[in-house]
Amino acid sequence: MTTYIVRRLLLMIPTLLGITIVVFAISRMAPGDPVSLAMGPGGMMDAQRAADVRAARMRLYGLDKPVYTQFGIWIGRVARLDFGDSIKHHRPVIDIIKERLPITLTLNLISFIIIYAISIPMGILSAVGRKKFLDRVSSVMLLMLWSLPSMWVGQMLIGYLCGPPLNWFPPAGLSSNDAERFPFFLWLSDRLWHLVLPVFCLTYAGFAYLTKQVRAGMLDNLRADYVRTARAKGLSNWAVIFRHAFRNSIIPVITIMATLLPAMFGGSIIIERIFSVSGMGLLAFEAVTTRDYNVVMGVATIAGFLNLIGLLLADIAYAIVDPRISFESVE
């Protein structure tokens, strides 16, 4: 197992390199540059003065060098875990990411746990009670949830639940203005209350998708010959469902896990923008709009690494839940 993990980690290096090359190329091909955007149309400065200031700032940020030289400098920095300085914030990118990454991970991990905690039992119940009342009602509800775009849902929730006359939830941020002075449990309840709407928007689509997949996988296995054999041996209904049918249905669930977390991470950009949550998603949005190249590259590298770690964990889970799969066969 250790050898397999080490090999997979080494294979991540060229993948991350490919990600950085693609993101670097796209960011440089986009029209405009951070210096021009920061300076605006010129203001009160004459053309010569504006050109001199722009040239000085381009040299300061190393943007006056050829593109291949800029990429070489970037790769050298990444090897030292140094993403350079943010052009907008005038701070090291790694320090900004350290502040923002825990927020995005908190949102996504809470949503991830809720999705699996609800979807798996609901998918099993729908499959066991196929074409019954619960299955029909849940199928309609899941289809409705799957079809609703998170951007629209977030705006509707803010409009109806965060404003008068209800004012049930805060419309933005992760805590109240003076939350740092609250006692711990009051601070925790305030933080959880601020998380309700963002977490819901991150959760409902993945919950709908995973529930349908669990139901489909269970239906396939409930019709299998080994399930009929287990029933013929006199095993109880729930023993047949959980020991046999669900155990053989869990592989697709793990596969979805490897893709769901990266998708949620990408969806955080929209949700954090809507609810003004200062996480990696909002940081990425601001960096793209201001052409803050170092931040864009840093966020893309961290996101790519987390996605690859998710795929590695999924491979390990395959071998743990199914004895027929070994780490050698996964390779």
How does DSSP classify residue 331? -
What distance in Å separates the CA atoms of residue 160 and residue 157, rounded to the nearest whole number? 5
Q: Is the pTM of this model over 0.95?
A: no
Q: Which domain CATH number covers 242?
A: 1.10.3720.10
For position 330, what pLDDT does the model report? 47
For position 323, what pLDDT does the model report? 64
pLDDT category at 248 given cuts 50, 70, 90 is confident
In-domain check, residue 261:
yes
Interval 271-296: pLDDT, tens: 888 888 888 888 888 888 888 888 88
Number of domains in the chain: 1
What distance in Å separates the CA atoms of residue 13 and residue 20, rounded to the nearest whole number? 11
Interval 182-215: pLDDT, tens: 888 888 888 888 889 999 988 888 888 888 888 8
In-domain check, residue 57:
no
Tokens of 275: 């609810």
What percentage of the chain exceeds 70 in pLDDT?
Answer: 93
3-state class of 173 per DSSP?
coil
In-domain check, residue 90:
no
Residue 325, pLDDT > 70, answer no
In-domain check, residue 40:
no
In-domain check, residue 87:
no
Residues facing 92 on adjacent strands: 85
For position 223, what pLDDT does the model report? 81
Residue 8, pLDDT > 60, answer yes
In-domain check, residue 190:
yes
Interval 68-122: pLDDT, tens: 888 888 888 888 888 888 888 888 888 998 888 888 888 888 888 898 888 888 8
pLDDT category at 327 given cuts 50, 70, 90 is low
Q: What is the span of the domain harbouring residue 140?
A: 2-16+96-330
For position 328, what pLDDT does the model report? 54
Q: To the nearest whole number, what is the mean pLDDT of the chain?
A: 81
Give me the helices (H) in 233-330, please.
237-239, 246-274, 280-289, 293-321, 327-330
Higher pLDDT, 168 or 253: 168
In-domain check, residue 50:
no
DSSP string over 297-309:
HHHHHHHHHHHHH
pLDDT category at 46 given cuts 50, 70, 90 is low
In-domain check, residue 306:
yes
| Listed ranges 48-52, 257-261, 303-307; the one with the highest mean pLDDT | 303-307
The residues, any chain, with a CB within 8 Å of residue 185's CB and separated by 6 or more, are none
